[in-house]
Structure 1
Amino acid sequence: MTLKLADWRRDWTLMSAFFYGDEIALIHEKLKNLKIENLAYCSFENRFARAGGLAAVTTNILPYLKEVNNIGAVLLLTPYYPDLMNKSKLRPTGISFAVNFNRKTIHVEIYKYTWRYKSPVRGSLPEYYLKADGFFEVKDKSKDPYIYNEQDSKANDVALSKNAVFFSLAVPLAMKALGIRKDIVFHLHEWQTSLISLTAKEAMLNGTLESCGTLQTIHNSFDSPVSWRLLTGIMDRSRKQKLAEFPGEDLSAYQIGLGLVDAPITTVSTNFAAEFTTDVLMTEHFAPHLQSIFRKSSVYGINNGTFVSISDKYPKKETHTIEEVRAIKLKRRKSLLSILSRYKPEERFGELTYQGGSITRLPDNVPIVVMSGRLDPLQKGYDIFLRAIEQFQEDEIKVILTPMPVDYSDLDYFYEAACKCKGNITVFPFKMQRGYRELQEGATFGVMPSIYEPFGAAVEYMASGTVNIGRATGGLVDQISRNCGFLYREDAVFYTLENITAFIESADIVQMRKTNPWAESMADNLYDVMKKAINVYINHPEKYYKMVLNGFEKAEGFSWGVNAKQYYQVYDMIRS
């Protein structure tokens, strides 16, 4: 499947604020003659520092970008987080360079991890980690590379912005130090790397690099202001003089980066791309300041590949018979119930029972429902799910929750729901050491009640033989179709900027989130679709198991190979 990029036109309106006419002409000439021989994938997340989907993408896509597109060199450029790295797996390259940052000379060392991959063919590629004293010193116990100060959000934002600007300045210098100076594509991810679209152009003009182009992938709509003081602190005298002519207030990282990028703006799913200019959550709350850029340049969705393979319990995949799938599914369910009856670490709370006795006695017609992932109150929708669960009777369903909290106070509502729904809910507030695979494969339904979802993990449930229930938002719309899962949406009358703002501003107050009219409508509609799904499971089992089979087929349609080819199309637009 090819992207339709014919209508895209480069919008360099902002270029004249940063560069003179002769400089713009020279940059354009260098881009026109660029060869795609070196791909530098720039990310604040990596295999040792994970906050969400970006790390998962980073640890899957690079071999496909290299091998499918036959690019000579593909590498990762990422920060070295002293407190997060697995130092035994990283090796010093012996290469270092200096960065002039805010009138100080900062010494940067390059560390290397060699990724030896088996797909799509056997090969290897380098990951380079930039280490600088005083930078990237995150302190978060959950290994979140964006948390510098857990107690003070404003101080954290300032620190993150400073580190992002420093990284953007260091990246072109790192490429020079590595001996790679021309025919470079910088693939930028999230706002933390977006200013490389500026520093890369400066690098071409001052001779640090010979030729390089940039493109941006947005995995989330978050952005950050960048003060002129911080920005001009990394500029040479000529650039400072040019910026002095710029009218108006500070711009954000994306307002600068997306205004200077050399190729179409991309994101990680087709539907999420459309939502940037159609969904009130994006247009009025998260990204109103970016609407002119999005509408002029458009945002192009490139669906991620799948992060897991079809479970080996289903060797025939979608060619299994209904009866074969039913037998396998019930066997995995039995394994799950056995583990749940025995695996009781002290952090777990809420006991699953059936008629007051052992959960192993649970009849096959009582559905098991699971929700897993980060406990992000403003994205993942755990509150919505808990409110829906409270409406079920004892032994009507069984629910397993595996939230991974940043702050254990976020679990307050979980404790409340576990008490209210005694026997129906168990909570594992950590990464399970046992039983996670059985949970994915043995559950009847996997629920994703996301507030927004750039891509999502619906495909992972499908690949495990579990039917999805999800809110119709973002990438979940691309993944869940009527023949393999269930989508729902709240009543439109409650989806207003007023309710959205109140919900987000009550991030730390669960009781206020619960009673928000928008949240109540999401929970009520989730309850309704769960009742519908349960009816299919109990009264129309052939339809349910057919959905499992359809899920296998749908999951296989998400390919990193296709993803890599589509990104190459975007790389090629740099030369247009």
Structure 2
Amino acid sequence: MAGSAAPHTIARPVLAFVSYETAYSPCGGISAVLARLPNRVAAAASMPTVVITPFHHRLPKTATLDVSWVGQCGVNFDGRLVVVHIHRHSGPAPHYFLRPEDPAFFAGMRHPYDVDGATLQRDSLFFGAAVWRALATIAPGARWTLLLQDWETATVALACAGQTSRPRMFLTLHNSYDCVAPHSRLRDAGFAPHACPGETVLQRALGVCEWPVFTVSDQFARDLVEDPFQSQVLAPHLAPLLASRLVGVDNGPFTDLAVPLPLLEQAAAGSPEALLAWKREKLRGFLTALDGLKPGDDRPLWGDLAQFRRDESPLFVMAGRDDCRQKGYDVAARAAELCLQDDVAARFVFFPIPGDEGLPGLEFLKQLAGRFPQQVLVFPFRFAEGFLNALQGATCGIMPSLYEPFGMANEFYLNGTIGIGRATGGILQQIVPVAQSRSYNPAVASRAARVHPAGLAETGFLFRERDGLHSEVDDWRGLNSTEYLTPGAPFDRVHDRLRFALYGSMVDELAGALRDAVDLASSPTSYAALLTAGIRHIQSTLSWDRAAQGYLRYV
């Protein structure tokens, strides 16, 4: 599919990943998947495989990309004709970027979704219409199969609804986010809403797309229809429609093995000294990076570098973009506070990427670092020179997610660190819990038994709030409502959520898991055994080639 090739030279059929974000316009997990999966599918498929995505012209990675012009198409949208230019970036799975002449579209500054809700709805609907029109220019006469990623690109199905000839389309859900799609809005945009009934984008798309609907882990497929937070709070309108259609296709790992293989072989043979020495070296690298750090307005360190302990106490790391309804930074902060006020010997390092609430939304972490300057540091910026060494030198990485489609526990293990995670979604699959631990309660045990065969080597710690709380669903609604964002209310996520029994139980169980990990750290041989087992588990269960075959089995 050379960019300058004549249209009739393009082979058929063609498979396309349609995504609102990619490695060239990253925000979250979808971009990480799109950086890996299309290439593996291209290698395994018997058809050309491409990626179709918006040209987010304000994002540097997109704006500076080497692309060639392929052609253009006209898109009738909101009562006017918008010209869209199609650009191609070469690779094993070539990327086709749709760039409207009107710069009001796809104008997010920090990431693709960095616009208000009405604008994101408009841009997503426009993208759906543009993809439908662009297919004939990208590959005239091709028999298209489209893999639509989340609601922002499920709009392609709405644009195709009612057409006499349309591509085969499959939906992949990386989360349960959705968007209202009123009949009048679709009609004004030039769609045929009567051909795709429903109240939201996903409801309408499900009636047009093929079976099955994919998700990015087997457990998240269950959670979408069984977990109260998903099925009764976040997406009750989807659960009945998805129950018989979901297929979980586990992602592959999001990083390569960083630990030298000989060290793992020695540890597996009963000699963990070299592996533990490697981790101590990485920790020293992190501390050296601290010595060179110069905080400023663009690097607002929270904590005290001079007071932060540089001893042998266990180090816990948490990282990723803050999302008050998903990530769980507040759960980790409160659990760390409970441990530290009881004089548990531990240190905590947080690497949050500020989300929609910005730095003010992370004030609870700033307060934690102020209260415990010897044990807590917070880096609410990209501390590239220190993060990897911190992760590789840490005792454990923490994932206290309120929900988790796939998760980064695999990245903990492949970087030489044991995982602690809430028993949900992909985390549940990636960590085999230690049964003889405080955190292994009946809620964890029952879920782990569904996922992990009996006798599987233990690899880390899972925690979960108690089952059977009478206020469970109401508490989830309360957590999701984020009342602390109400004007005039105290802007304190932790303080607001402590009134919910479910939240308190979640915090208590994580605090227990942290104590479990502190106990484990006192036995280097046991720690190394769990780590090596965890690495083996990730390597044996997660594979991008296997993921590619999982999709190709249906498409």
Structure 2-normalised TM-score?
A: 0.85
Rounded to whole Å, the distance in 1 between the matches of 2:350 and 2:129 is 42
2:426 to 440, 460, 475: 475
Deviation at 1:109, TM superposition (A): 0.6
**1:340 corresponding residue in structure 2:** 290
Rounded to whole Å, the distance in 1 between the matches of 2:424 and 2:128 is 32
Rounded to whole Å, the distance in 2 between the matches of 1:325 and 1:316 is 5
Deviation digits for residues 460-513 of structure 1, max 9, x if unmatched? 000001000000011100111121110000122446121111112126342212
Rounded to whole Å, the distance in 2 between the matches of 1:234 and 1:36 is 31
Decide whether aligned partners of structure 1 residues 376 and 517 sit closer, same or farther in structure 2, where only a CA change above 3 A counts.
same
Letter in 1 for 2:228: V
**Residue 463 (1) aligns with residue 431 (2):** no
**2:34 corresponding residue in structure 1:** 58
Rounded to whole Å, the distance in 1 between the matches of 2:479 and 2:137 is 48
Contact 2:127–2:155 (CA<8 Å) still a contact in 1? no
Contact 2:162–2:195 (CA<8 Å) still a contact in 1? no
Letter in 2 for 1:265: V
Rounded to whole Å, the distance in 1 between the matches of 2:37 and 2:178 is 24
Contact 1:83–1:137 (CA<8 Å) still a contact in 2? no
1:397 to 340, 346, 353: 346
Rounded to whole Å, the distance in 1 between the matches of 2:333 and 2:106 is 32
Deviation at 1:138, TM superposition (A): 5.2
**Residue 439 (1) aligns with residue 404 (2):** no
Deviation at 1:194, TM superposition (A): 1.2
Deviation at 1:127, TM superposition (A): 0.7
Decide whether aligned partners of structure 1 residues 161 and 565 sit closer, same or farther in structure 2, where only a CA change above 3 A counts.
same
Q: State the secondary structure of the residue aligned to 2:554.
A: helix
Equivalences for residues 122-141 of structure 1 within 5 A: 124-134=92-102, 137=105, 140-141=108-109
Contact 2:365–2:378 (CA<8 Å) still a contact in 1? yes
Rounded to whole Å, the distance in 1 between the matches of 2:368 and 2:498 is 12
**2:280 corresponding residue in structure 1:** 330
Contact 2:68–2:89 (CA<8 Å) still a contact in 1? no
Contact 2:229–2:476 (CA<8 Å) still a contact in 1? yes
RCO higher in structure (CA 8 A, sep ≥6): 1
Q: State the secondary structure of the residue aligned to 2:35.
A: helix
**Residue 111 (1) aligns with residue 61 (2):** no
Deviation digits for residues 314-334 of structure 1, max 9, x if unmatched? 456456442332222222223
Q: State the secondary structure of the residue aligned to 2:325.
A: coil
Contact 1:270–1:300 (CA<8 Å) still a contact in 2? yes
Rounded to whole Å, the distance in 2 between the matches of 1:70 and 1:264 is 21
Equivalences for residues 481-492 of structure 1 within 5 A: 481-482=432-433, 483-492=458-467
Deviation digits for residues 505-561 of structure 1, max 9, x if unmatched? 1263422124432222111110011111211121x3212111110121122131100
Equivalences for residues 518-537 of structure 1 within 5 A: 518-537=502-521
More displaced stretch, 340-349 vs 264-273: 340-349
**Residue 280 (1) aligns with residue 233 (2):** no
1:178 to 117, 122, 138: 138
Contact 1:304–1:560 (CA<8 Å) still a contact in 2? yes
Deviation at 1:136, TM superposition (A): 6.2
Decide whether aligned partners of structure 1 residues 135 and 271 sit closer, same or farther in structure 2, where only a CA change above 3 A counts.
farther
Deviation digits for residues 407-452 of structure 1, max 9, x if unmatched? 1111211111111222110011011131222111101100000011
Decide whether aligned partners of structure 1 residues 408 and 552 sit closer, same or farther in structure 2, where only a CA change above 3 A counts.
same
**1:32 corresponding residue in structure 2:** none
Deviation digits for residues 335-371 of structure 1, max 9, x if unmatched? 3233334434331120256xx5x744x12xx101000
The alignment of Structure 1 onto Structure 2 pairs a total of residues equal to: 500
Structure 1: 5+ residue runs without aligned partners?
Answer: 1-34, 116-123, 149-155, 206-210, 572-576
**1:419 corresponding residue in structure 2:** 370
Decide whether aligned partners of structure 1 residues 474 and 422 sit closer, same or farther in structure 2, where only a CA change above 3 A counts.
same
Rounded to whole Å, the distance in 1 between the matches of 2:195 and 2:245 is 27
Structure 1-normalised TM-score?
A: 0.82
**2:112 corresponding residue in structure 1:** 145
Letter in 2 for 1:64: R
**Residue 554 (1) aligns with residue 532 (2):** no
Identity, % of aligned pairs?
Answer: 27
Rounded to whole Å, the distance in 2 between the matches of 1:491 and 1:563 is 33
Structure 2: 5+ residue runs without aligned partners?
Answer: 1-10, 434-457, 486-490
Q: State the secondary structure of the residue aligned to 1:90.
A: coil
Contact 1:106–1:132 (CA<8 Å) still a contact in 2? yes
**1:505 corresponding residue in structure 2:** 481
Deviation at 1:235, TM superposition (A): 4.7
RMSD over equivalenced CA pairs, Å: 2.3
Q: State the secondary structure of the residue aligned to 1:470.
A: strand
Rounded to whole Å, the distance in 2 between the matches of 1:176 and 1:257 is 21
Equivalences for residues 350-361 of structure 1 within 5 A: 350-351=303-304, 359-360=309-310
Contact 1:318–1:550 (CA<8 Å) still a contact in 2? no
1:233 to 188, 195, 203: 188
